[in-house]
C-alpha cells in the first residue's frame, strides 16, 4: 500500500512503525507522529490511515471519516482502509455504511480477523442474528493457526456443526485449556439450542482468559437466552467497564434490563445508543417496545415510525404499531404496507409481520373479509417456520391428568414451600389475564411482574416433556422425588423470581398463561400459592389468538383448527384439576368481569385473602409497566366492545367451531369428558 518516495531507505517505515506503536496506548502521540510524516510527504496513504485511526481513537470519528472517504477513493483495494472506514461509520451510528465498508474489507482480505469481528458486531447491532453468527464464525476461522482448528472453523462457517463438533472434541481432550476451541464448541451448542452446555463452556473460557471479551459477550448472550438475567447483566457490566461506548454491549444491557423489569433504565440506554448511532432501525423498534411498556404511547409510536422511515420493509415495526390495539394506521401507511408486500423481495419474517399488521388495519376499517384473508395468510406463513404437533400436545396433557390424581397429591401432603407469595394467573393468551393482573396489582398488597418463565424452566430441569427422549420425563419424574425436594423447588422458584419484585409487597403475580400446564407442579412445590384461571368465550379467545403474532411460545395459535383443539384440551385439563384439587383454582370469566366488575373483583380478592380496595376498580390509573399485547387496553376503563367482536368474522369460523366441539356449546359450563387414560 505504501507509495514509493524519495526519502532515505528505512526512514519512513521506522516513523510509521513508531506511530503505529503509539496508536493503542497514546493516540494523541500517534496523531502527532502521523502529522509530522504528512508534513514531509503530503498525502502519504499509510500516514493518512494512521491519522484517521488516531482521530477515531480520540472520539473524533467525523474527523476520521473526512480523511478516510477520499483515501478509500484513492486506495479502493485496501482492506485496511475499508476496515477503518467501517469502524468510523460504526462510531457515527451509520450502521448500513459500516456494514458495507466492513464487507468490502473482508472481501479484499478474507483473513482479516478484526474486520470479521467488527462486521459481526454491526450485524448484531442491526439484530441480524444469522449474519452476525456467520461473521463471528469467520472471525474465529481467521484467528486460528492450528490446522485442526482451522478445519473445525471452516466447518463451523459452513454450518456443518456435526463435523465441527467431531473435530473439536478430541482436540480439547488433548488441549483442554485452548480457549478458542472451547468458544467454538460453545458456539455449536448455542446454535443447536444446547444452552446449558454452551453456558458451562463459556464460563470455563472466561475463567481461563478473563480478558477474552468475545467469549464473555457470547456468555452474556447465552445467559440472557436462558432467562438468567442477573447473571447476564453481571457479564455485560464487566464488558462495559472495558468498553463503555460499545453499542452492542449497551444494546444487550438494555434488553436484559427490560427483561428484569428495569424498563426505565432500558429506555434511557436505548435513547443514549440512538443518540450516538441513530441509523439503527431495529434499535428504534426496541426503544419503541420499552416506551410502550412504560405507557409512553406517543413517543413509542414516534420510535416505531422512525424505524419504518429508516427501513420501510421492517415488518415487525408495523406489527408493533398494530399491536398497540388502540392505534390506527393512516391511509398512506396502509398503502406503504401493501406496496411492500406487493413489491420487492421480503424476508419471511418481515412478510408475515406485515400481513398481520395489514390484517389489523383492514379490521379497523371494517373490511372483515379482506382482514381475515390477511390474517389467514400471515398465520400460514408463520406456520412454515414454526411447526406445531397437536397430537403431541394432547398426549402431554393426558399424561399430566394421569399422573396428578387425588392419591398422588394426598401422598405428598403439604410437602412444598409454605410461602403464600405467588398468585399465578393462567389460561390461554388473549383471555383477559392482563386485565386480571392489572386489577390485582392495583391492590396495595400485590405487585405485578410479567410473564415469568421460571415454572417452565424448573419443569424442563426435572425432565424432558417428550417420552421419545432418553432420560427422565416430566411429569413422570415427579413421582420419584423425595419429599424434601418439593420444598427445594418452591424455594428455588421464589429465589429466581425475587429479582422481579421491586416494591416489597407481600404478594406478587406470575402471569405466564401457559403455567396452566404446570398446576400440578405448582401445587406440589408451592401448596399455598393462589391460582387464577382466566377464561374467555372460546370463539372470542381463539380468534383473538389467531389474529395475534406472539414473539414466542404460542405455536398452537397459527391455525384455527389447532387453536380450537388446544382450547378444548385446556378446558379438559382444567376440569381434571377442578376434580382433583377442588376449590384450589379460582376462575374468572372475562364476560362476567366486563358485565359486573365490582362483584367479580370482590370475588377475586376474597379468593386471594385480600380486603377489598376501591383502587382495584380504577386499575386503569395504575402506571406500572405492562409488557403484553393488552398494555394499552388495560390503561383504559373496562369496555365491552371486544366481548362479541368475533361475530364480525363468523362466516370464516366453521373450522374453529368444529374443532371446539362440545366446549363451544357448553360455555361457560364444561362438557363431560371421558376420564384420561
Q: What is the mean pLDDT of residues 196-211?
A: 93
Please tell me the distance from the alpha carbon of residue 400 to that of residue 532, in angstroms, as a whole number: 19
Q: What is the mean pLDDT of residues 528-533?
A: 97
pLDDT (0 to 100) of residue 3: 43
Q: What is the mean pLDDT of residues 321-343?
A: 92
Low-confidence winner among 69-78, 240-249, 319-328, 632-641 (lowest mean pLDDT): 632-641
Q: What is the mean pLDDT of residues 469-481?
A: 87
Burial of residue 663 (CB within 10 Å: 0-12, 13-18, 19+) is: buried
For residue 508, give the DSSP letter.
Answer: E
Please tell me the distance from the alpha carbon of residue 546 to that of residue 537, in angstroms, as a whole number: 14
Residue 6 has pLDDT above 80, yes or no: no
- List the one residue out of 568, 296, 524 whose CA is nearest residue 413: 524
Please tell me the distance from the alpha carbon of residue 164 to that of residue 180, in angstroms, as a whole number: 13
As a whole-number percent, the residues of the chain with pLDDT over 70 amount to 94
Residue 432, sorted as left (phi over 0), alpha (psi -120 to 50) or beta, turns out to be left
Residue 178: strand, helix, or coil: coil
Q: In this predicted model, what pLDDT tens digit does every residue of 58-108 receive, in sequence order?
A: 889 899 999 999 999 999 999 999 999 999 998 887 888 999 999 999 999
- List the one residue out of 40, 39, 91, 93 whose CA is nearest residue 64: 91
- List the one residue out of 258, 270, 267, 269 whose CA is nearest residue 232: 258
* Global confidence as pTM: 0.81
Burial of residue 540 (CB within 10 Å: 0-12, 13-18, 19+) is: buried
All domains of the chain, ordered by start, with CATH? 390-666 (3.40.50.300)
Q: In this predicted model, what pLDDT tens digit does every residue of 339-356 receive, in sequence order?
A: 999 986 888 999 999 999
Per-residue confidence at 578, pLDDT binned at 50, 70, 90?
very high
Most confident among 23-32, 410-419, 545-554 (mean pLDDT):
410-419
Q: In this predicted model, what pLDDT tens digit does every residue of 244-256 receive, in sequence order?
A: 888 889 999 999 9
Per-residue confidence at 26, pLDDT binned at 50, 70, 90?
confident
Q: Which residue has the cell 406500572?
A: 624
Residue 384 has pLDDT above 80, yes or no: yes
As a whole-number percent, the residues of the chain with pLDDT over 90 amount to 62
Q: In this predicted model, what pLDDT tens digit does every residue of 218-241 receive, in sequence order?
A: 999 999 988 888 999 999 999 999
Facing residues of 588 across strands?
534
Q: What is the mean pLDDT of residues 188-212?
A: 92
Residue 299 has pLDDT above 50, yes or no: yes
Per-residue confidence at 625, pLDDT binned at 50, 70, 90?
low
Count of other CB atoms within 10 angstroms of residue 187: 25
pLDDT (0 to 100) of residue 559: 94
Strand arrangement, sheet containing 422-427: 446-448, 507-510, 422-427, 530-535, 585-589
Most confident among 91-105, 558-572, 626-640, 659-673 (mean pLDDT):
558-572
Residue 633 has pLDDT above 70, yes or no: no
pLDDT (0 to 100) of residue 27: 86
Task: Give the mean pLDDT of the chain.
Answer: 89
CB 238 within 8 A of CB 252: no
pLDDT (0 to 100) of residue 641: 58
Amino acid at each position: 500500500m505504501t507509495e514509493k518516495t524519495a526519502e532515505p531507505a528505512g526512514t519512513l517505515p521506522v516513523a510509521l512503525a513508531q506511530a503505529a506503536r503509539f496508536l493503542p496506548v497514546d493516540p494523541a502521540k500517534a496523531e502527532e507522529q502521523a502529522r509530522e510524516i504528512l508534513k514531509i510527504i503530503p498525502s502519504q496513504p499509510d500516514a493518512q490511515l494512521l491519522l484517521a485511526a488516531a482521530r477515531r481513537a480520540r472520539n473524533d470519528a467525523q474527523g476520521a471519516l473526512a480523511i478516510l472517504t477520499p483515501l478509500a477513493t484513492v486506495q479502493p483495494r485496501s482492506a485496511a482502509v475499508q476496515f477503518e472506514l467501517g469502524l468510523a461509520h460504526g462510531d457515527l451510528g451509520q450502521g448500513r455504511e459500516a456494514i458495507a465498508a466492513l464487507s468490502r474489507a473482508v472481501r479484499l482480505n478474507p483473513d482479516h480477523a478484526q474486520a470479521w469481528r467488527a462486521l459481526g458486531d454491526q450485524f448484531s447491532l442491526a439484530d441480524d442474528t444469522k449474519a452476525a453468527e456467520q461473521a463471528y464464525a469467520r472471525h474465529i476461522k481467521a484467528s486460528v493457526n492450528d490446522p485442526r482448528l482451522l478445519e473445525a472453523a471452516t466447518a463451523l462457517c459452513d454450518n456443518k456443526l456435526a463435523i465441527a463438533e467431531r473435530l473439536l472434541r478430541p482436540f480439547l481432550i488433548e488441549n483442554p485449556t485452548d480457549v478458542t476451541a472451547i468458544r467454538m464448541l460453545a458456539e455449536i451448542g448455542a446454535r443447536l439450542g444446547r444452552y446449558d452446555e454452551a453456558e458451562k463452556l463459556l464460563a470455563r473460557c472466561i475463567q481461563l482468559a478473563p480478558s477474552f471479551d468475545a467469549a464473555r459477550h457470547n456468555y452474556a448472550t447465552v445467559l440472557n437466552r436462558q432467562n438468567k438475567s442477573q447473571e447476564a447483566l453481571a457479564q455485560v457490566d464487566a464488558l462495559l467497564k472495558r468498553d463503555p461506548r460499545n453499542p452492542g454491549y449497551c444494546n444487550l444491557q438494555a434488553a436484559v434490563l427490560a427483561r428484569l423489569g428495569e424498563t426505565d433504565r432500558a429506555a434511557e440506554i436505548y435513547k443514549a445508543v440512538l443518540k450516538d448511532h441513530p441509523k439503527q432501525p431495529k434499535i428504534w423498534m426496541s426503544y419503541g417496545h420499552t416506551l410502550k411498556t412504560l405507557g409512553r404511547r406517543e413517543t413509542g409510536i414516534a420510535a416505531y415510525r422512525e424505524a419504518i422511515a429508516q427501513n420501510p420493509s421492517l415488518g415487525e415495526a408495523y406489527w408493533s404499531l398494530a399491536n398497540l390495539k388502540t392505534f390506527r394506521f393512516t391511509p398512506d401507511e396502509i398503502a406503504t404496507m401493501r406496496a411492500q408486500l406487493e413489491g420487492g423481495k421480503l424476508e419471511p419474517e418481515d412478510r408475515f409481520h406485515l400481513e398481520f399488521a395489514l390484517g389489523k388495519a383492514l379490521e379497523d376499517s371494517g373490511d372483515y373479509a379482506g382482514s381475515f384473508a390477511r390474517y389467514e395468510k400471515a398465520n400460514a406463513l408463520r406456520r412454515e417456520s414454526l411447526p406445531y404437533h397437536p397430537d403431541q400436545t394432547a398426549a402431554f396433557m393426558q399424561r399430566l391428568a394421569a399422573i396428578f390424581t387425588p392419591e398422588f397429591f394426598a401422598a405428598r401432603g403439604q410437602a412444598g414451600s409454605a410461602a403464600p407469595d405467588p398468585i399465578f394467573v393462567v389460561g390461554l393468551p388473549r383471555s383477559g389475564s392482563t386485565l386480571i393482573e392489572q386489577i390485582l396489582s392495583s391492590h396495595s398488597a400485590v405487585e405485578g411482574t410479567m410473564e415469568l418463565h421460571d415454572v417452565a424452566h424448573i419443569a424442563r430441569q426435572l425432565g424432558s416433556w417428550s417420552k421419545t427422549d432418553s432420560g427422565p420425563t416430566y411429569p413422570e419424574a415427579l413421582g420419584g422425588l423425595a419429599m424434601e425436594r418439593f420444598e427445594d423447588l418452591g424455594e428455588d422458584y421464589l429465589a429466581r423470581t425475587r429479582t422481579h419484585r421491586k416494591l416489597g409487597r407481600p404478594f406478587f403475580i406470575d402471569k405466564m398463561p401457559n403455567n396452566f400446564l404446570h398446576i400440578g407442579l405448582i401445587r406440589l412445590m408451592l401448596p399455598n400459592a393462589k391460582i387464577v384461571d382466566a377464561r374467555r368465550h372460546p370463539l372470542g379467545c381463539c380468534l383473538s389468538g389467531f389474529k395475534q403474532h406472539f414473539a414466542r411460545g404460542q405455536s398452537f395459535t397459527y391455525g384455527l383448527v389447532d387453536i380450537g383443539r388446544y382450547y378444548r384440551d385446556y378446558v379438559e385439563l382444567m376440569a381434571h384439576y377442578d376434580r382433583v384439587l377442588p376449590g384450589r383454582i379460582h376462575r374468572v370469566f372475562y364476560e362476567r368481569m366486563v358485565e359486573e366488575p365490582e362483584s367479580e373483583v370482590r370475588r377475586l380478592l376474597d379468593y386471594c385473602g385480600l380486603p377489598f380496595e376501591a383502587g382495584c376498580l380504577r386499575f386503569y390509573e395504575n402506571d406500572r409497566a405492562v409488557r403484553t399485547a393488552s398494555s394499552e387496553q388495560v390503561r383504559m376503563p373496562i369496555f365491552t366492545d371486544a366481548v362479541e367482536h368475533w361475530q364480525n368474522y363468523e362466516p370464516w369460523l366453521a373450522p374453529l367451531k368444529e374443532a371446539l366441539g362440545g366446549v363451544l356449546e357448553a360455555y361457560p359450563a364444561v362438557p363431560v369428558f371421558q376420564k384420561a387414560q
